[in-house]
Structure 1
Amino acid sequence: MAMSGPSGGASARRGRGRHRAPMSEINVTPLVDVMLVLLIIFMITAPLLASAVPVDLPESRAKPVETEEQEPVQLSINADDTLYIGEEVVPEADLPARLEAIAREAKEGGKPPQIMLRADKGLDYGRVMRVMGELNHAGLSRIALVTTGSETAAAIAEPAVTAGSDSGQ
């Protein structure tokens, strides 16, 4: 009885054959931390990536308009001639009443809001002008036409200026 088996005594625990059991628990704290950081990043960047109304904007060399502390009103016209105020579809017949309501709210607040007009580049010019006429009729005259910046438009306009200055010599 001098010898003890693998299950008995202190000598079995102190010997060379001591092995740790594999870790069967997963530490989820780092996983939760990483997921929360990713969630915050996506929450911040998602609204900046895309506008809710898909519009193929024309290109322009114009400089960006600086907006004020008041949130501008987004008015969009899709390629299929659908009108949106913000992300809400507005029927053509309801547009004058909705614009007058926006103008009325602005008069109560003091300063009229900036209107950001986003129109698809394939639309008829007359269609865009009719919407601008409705804006003007409602008393909303602070209108900005939204475009995309273009390096190709700048490259096309640059030779035209150079050619005009060469012809004067």
Structure 2
Amino acid sequence: MAMSAGRDDGEPMMEMNTTPLIDVMLVLLIMFIITIPIQTHAVKVDLPQNSRTPANPVNADKNKITIDAAGTVAWNGAPVDEVTLRQYLDQTAGMNPEPELHFQPAPDARYEQVDRTLAVIKRSAITKLGFIGNEQYRNDF
């Protein structure tokens, strides 16, 4: 009674049974999903190889960090970014005896850049830090 069968008068059932069709379609869909190759999103880039070995930029006696008016941070005269500066500082901290680190910002350097550089120095394990150039301002205050 709840199922859709033919009428009571003996007429044949006019509706198509779609259950086997749906089962076959699901099996085909699963087989299709399994046979799809896995997509890899890799971009191959040929990077240049450095043939010469760079000289060690960390001096064993003393190293100097300067900041100019444009905000460029330099390690012993060569411009560096924050990551490279941190690597040099970590290498310096690991030396025995630890070399002195001289910090000399330009008088017109932005405080934000000086503060950011001092934060990088503080996060490293540097213990010998000296501010260079402040003695010229001792009579100004």
The alignment's TM-score, normalised by the length of structure 1, stands at 0.42
The alignment's TM-score, normalised by the length of structure 2, stands at 0.49
Higher relative contact order (CA 8 A, sep 6+): 1
Determine which structure has more spread, i.e. the larger CA radius of gyration.
2
